[in-house]
Amino acid sequence: METASSNDANTPLSAHAGFLHGTKALVPKLQQQLTQYISDASRSIDNVIFTGHSAGAAVSSLLFLHFLTTLRVARCKSCPSLVMHPSPFALRQNR
């Protein structure tokens, strides 16, 4: 399995290169849409759910981790959440 490690030396994870590539391709558009949706003053967001099936579950788990660590969601009561359906392994711990 081809993996890609984080550039952050404090992150002891590697991701499947193909799933990581797919995730990185989706981040800019999702970042824009989520930020726009959440910043709309007329909305109160209870939860943002990332979900997928099979390979989509692997990508959604990486998206979830990305947004969990980068998205500041002041108007969101309890988000984000991850719902996975059977998924191949997307991450492994570096040793």
DSSP for 67-95, please give it: HHHH---TTBSS--EEEE-S----EEE--
Report the largest interatomic distance among the alpha carbons of the chain, rounded to a whole angstrom: 47
pLDDT above 60 (res 9)? no
Angle between helices 55-70 and 17-39 (to 10 degrees): 50
Tell me what the pLDDT averaged over the chain comes to: 75
**Residues linked to residue 84 through DSSP beta bridges, in sequence order:** 52
Residue 26 confidence (pLDDT): 94
User: Is the separation of the CB atoms in 49 and 60 below 8 Å?
Assistant: no
Residue 7 confidence (pLDDT): 56
- Phi and psi dihedrals of 17, rounded to 5? -60, -40
In which band, very low, low, confident or very high, does the pLDDT at 1 lie, cut at 50, 70 and 90? very low
pTM: 0.69
